[in-house]
Amino acid sequence: MLPVVPEEMAGRVRMEQLASILRLTPIMMGANIVIAMLVCLAGLTGPHRTGLIIWSAMVISYGLLGLRGWLAAQRSKGGKSTVSARGLRRIATQAGLLGCLWGALPILAMDGDAASVQMRMMIVSVIAGMVGCGGFAMLAFPPAAIAYSTPMVIGSLYVLARSGDPILLALGGLLIFCYLVVSLSCLSHAKVFAERLVAGEELERQKQVVSLLLSDFEEGASDWLWEIDAHGALSYVSDRMAAAAGTDRRALLGQTLAALCGPAVEGPTGPVASLTALLAEHRTFRDIVVPVQVGALTHWWSLSAKPIHDKDGAFMGFRGVGADVTAAREAQARISRLAHFDVLTQLPNRLSFLQALSKAWTDHAQADDAVGGCAVLCLDLDYFKGVNDSLGHPVGDALLIEVAERLRQCVGEAGFVARLGGDEFAVVVAPAPAPEALGELARAIVETLSQPYDIKGHNVLIGASIGIAIAPVDAADPDSLLKNADLALYRAKGDGRGAYRFFELSMDVGAQERRALEMDLRAALKNDELRVFFQPLIGCREHDITGFEALLRWEHPRRGLVPPNDFIACAEQWGLIGKIGEWVLNEACRQAASWPAPLTVAVNLSPNQFASGDLVGQVARALSDSGLDPSRLELEITEGLLLNDTARTLEQLAALKTLGVKIAMDDFGTGYSSLAYLWRFPFDKIKLDRSFVAEMGENTAISDIVRTITLLGQTLKLQVTAEGVETADQARMLGEMHCDHFQGFLFGRPMPVGDIPNFLLSDLARRMRRQSVAAETDSAASA
């Protein structure tokens, strides 16, 4: 059978098998005709004369038809390159028919007692010869060879087995052995034949691919080919290499690669020296980049090669490829600069700064260094954000460029100047001078950067603040030195800006405390350390309790009860106020739902909660989960909330009003009060800040302001609540001014939720006593 070959090769293999058969077809058909004639002549005197004549005529006719078919195939040769499996099956069938004709010969001429021994011996010999000839002629196609020889062997064995003659039986055994040898030989040869064809086809395909690749490489690739002989002289140069060298190919032949580098300057361990050493050592190399002089310019070539040897192993030279990598090298240099320099100001960036700081530390600030040290100055521009916001980023960028130039000129060779990002700059000074000299440098920088700038027609004024840390006194490693300089900068900005400060240990202690506070506060919700206290709100006329304001407290296991002033601002700075505010809202609504109606609960909202965009959903969920009537929830906001993104804020406030809750403006009059806010949004209440209440008794101007605010509330139909009421005189004066509600220590301090029932009972008892006294007074008056 046909060995397994790839489908795309099967037709090609069949064609070669057919061609192998056709090549021997004339000999095979001629042999059949001649042998048939000889057999017929040998039997003309025997008893089977008539049968042999008919048989030989049929074989001769078949042979002539075979020759005719061969001639037809020769005339159409070259028309096809493949043969179908069906075509080969037809060849096998034809071979089988011819084999059947020969298989009939033993039965025709050997069967019966009339056949002589000599005739039988001759026919067996003929059959054996024909089996061998057929196997040889159809060696590449086993099905045809087996189909041809099998009928002959069967016919012969049939006659020999019936004869009973030991000699003839032995001949039958030999015939079987011959048949098996021929069949197995055909199968083995056919397998080798097919494998050789497949291998040859694959080799030819690979040669074509290699030829195409080499052609494409020479014509379209950026690389080129080259060869040098055993003496190091160029023996082959491609056209592209000659073009890259800017000269003719013939001018390059005979030169060494090192000679192409010309006057390019390099040290004894440079790339050209390395290339020369590799060539001398006959070692394979890859991507050796060497400078090559092309006219007046220096280009960079990347070379790769491997040694070549003859069949005896003798070194013949090198064969390799090359490419001009000048553009890539320049691009890499640009990328490297981008990685180490700020694009806008062209100052070194943070990465370069950290590298310079690390080197300065190693060279000057090691603990065992007897003298010197290094210092870091962290700079931050004052009021730069205002310039950016008011005049735009193009002006801000131009200002940063001018600042960088002034800073570079002011520092000069005294230090390494870098831009860390935004409006932050830093300077490494190594070795560090005395603190007085660093202070003079910082003062000079502040004065230089504070001079007016003319930026695109705008007169711009900014300032600078500087923090200074000196190693090894102020830090044990470079990272700590930078951090401590930043802490000193933080202090400089906190002290009023436009100044410089040296690092002090207390700054780090304060930073560590803030960090510890942040970590504790982040765990406070998880550890259930937050508490909601409630301070009563009192009606002005009857001094009845109208509700409570929810006030946050932090019950820390080590710090004790932490007041909100100590951590609320930090929570807003650290981004924690959103989760804390949501928790307070849920807890306040849950507790208020258990109070008797119509007691209300007031909850303060942070501007950061509005910025989250989910505040309306949080309030709706808190009301739904607690079952609190929306009219009993009062949300307090500060005036500062309305300064930024007013439209979006008013949209959220309107959505909250739609839920049915009340909105109050807290600390009215202390910040950025604008009457426009009161008519742009329908507030339900304004809360008078405690600072007015505390001073109105001693300052008539403050009293007039309070009276005006309460009158404004009456005019706009707004409730007015006074905070910080601590004395009866304050309550009386506010009552005369028609203030609606009081809140302060006079009526009750903030209390945990567990104290509210007793507080309400005490208030109920007070009201009952007052009603009883009023009843007795009315009765006495009637009497």
pLDDT reported for residue 371:
47
Whether the per-residue pLDDT at 600 is higher than 70: the answer is: yes
**Residue predicted with more confidence, 85 or 233:** 233
What does the pLDDT average to over 628-656?
Answer: 83
Whether the per-residue pLDDT at 662 is higher than 90: the answer is: yes
Whether the per-residue pLDDT at 545 is higher than 80: the answer is: yes
Whether the per-residue pLDDT at 1 is higher than 50: the answer is: no
**CB atoms inside a 10 Å sphere around CB 725:** 25
**Residue predicted with more confidence, 604 or 612:** 604
pLDDT for 363-412, tens place per residue?
Answer: 887 644 434 689 999 999 998 888 887 788 899 999 999 999 999 999 99
What does the pLDDT average to over 135-158?
Answer: 76
Whether the per-residue pLDDT at 333 is higher than 80: the answer is: no
pLDDT reported for residue 466:
94
pLDDT reported for residue 472:
87
pLDDT reported for residue 28:
79
Whether the per-residue pLDDT at 202 is higher than 70: the answer is: no
pLDDT reported for residue 367:
47
pLDDT reported for residue 469:
92
Choose the weakest-confidence range: 54-63, 171-180, 347-356, 371-380.
171-180
| Mean pLDDT over each residue of the chain, to the nearest integer | 81
**Residue predicted with more confidence, 390 or 493:** 493
**CB atoms inside a 10 Å sphere around CB 684:** 15
CA distances from 661 to 538, 581, 585, 600, 630 (A): 20, 17, 13, 10, 5
Choose the weakest-confidence range: 541-550, 718-727, 760-769.
760-769
pLDDT reported for residue 252:
85
Choose the weakest-confidence range: 13-17, 111-115, 306-310, 504-508.
111-115
CA distances from 715 to 256, 685, 692 (A): 102, 12, 20
What does the pLDDT average to over 139-157?
Answer: 77
What does the pLDDT average to over 476-495?
Answer: 88
Q: Among candidates 132, 120, 123, 160, which has minimal Cα distance to 36?
A: 123
Contact between 152 and 103 under an 8 Å Cβ cutoff? The reply is yes
Highest-pLDDT range among 118-127, 174-183, 493-502: 493-502
**Residue predicted with more confidence, 185 or 635:** 635
pLDDT band at residue 298 using 50, 70 and 90 as cut-offs: confident
Whether the per-residue pLDDT at 111 is higher than 80: the answer is: no
Say which residue the tokens 């099998």 belong to: 150
Whether the per-residue pLDDT at 7 is higher than 60: the answer is: no
Q: Which residues pair with 380 in a beta bridge?
A: 424, 465
pLDDT reported for residue 17:
67
CA distances from 727 to 43, 549, 697, 742 (A): 155, 20, 11, 11
pLDDT reported for residue 219:
53
Contact between 407 and 450 under an 8 Å Cβ cutoff? The reply is no
What does the pLDDT average to over 485-494?
Answer: 87
Whether the per-residue pLDDT at 78 is higher than 60: the answer is: no
Contact between 697 and 718 under an 8 Å Cβ cutoff? The reply is no
Contact between 203 and 224 under an 8 Å Cβ cutoff? The reply is no
What does the pLDDT average to over 758-777?
Answer: 77
Report the alpha-carbon distance of residue 336 to residue 329 in Å, rounded: 10
Q: Is the dihedral of CA 337, 342, 347, 351 positive or negative?
A: negative
What does the pLDDT average to over 223-230?
Answer: 85
pLDDT reported for residue 381:
92
Torsion of CA 537, 543, 544, 547, to 10 degrees: -10
What does the pLDDT average to over 491-509?
Answer: 81
3-state secondary structure 289-325: EEEEEECCEEEEEEEEEEEEECCCCCEEEEEEEEEEC
**Count of residues making up the chain:** 783
pLDDT reported for residue 777:
67
pLDDT reported for residue 370:
37
Whether the per-residue pLDDT at 723 is higher than 50: the answer is: yes
Highest-pLDDT range among 87-96, 469-478, 767-776: 469-478
pLDDT reported for residue 366:
63
pLDDT reported for residue 440:
93
162 token code pair:
């019936």
What does the pLDDT average to over 652-672?
Answer: 84
What does the pLDDT average to over 25-47?
Answer: 78
What does the pLDDT average to over 280-295?
Answer: 85
Choose the weakest-confidence range: 123-137, 141-155, 264-278.
264-278
Whether the per-residue pLDDT at 539 is higher than 50: the answer is: yes
Highest-pLDDT range among 18-27, 271-280, 337-346, 750-759: 750-759
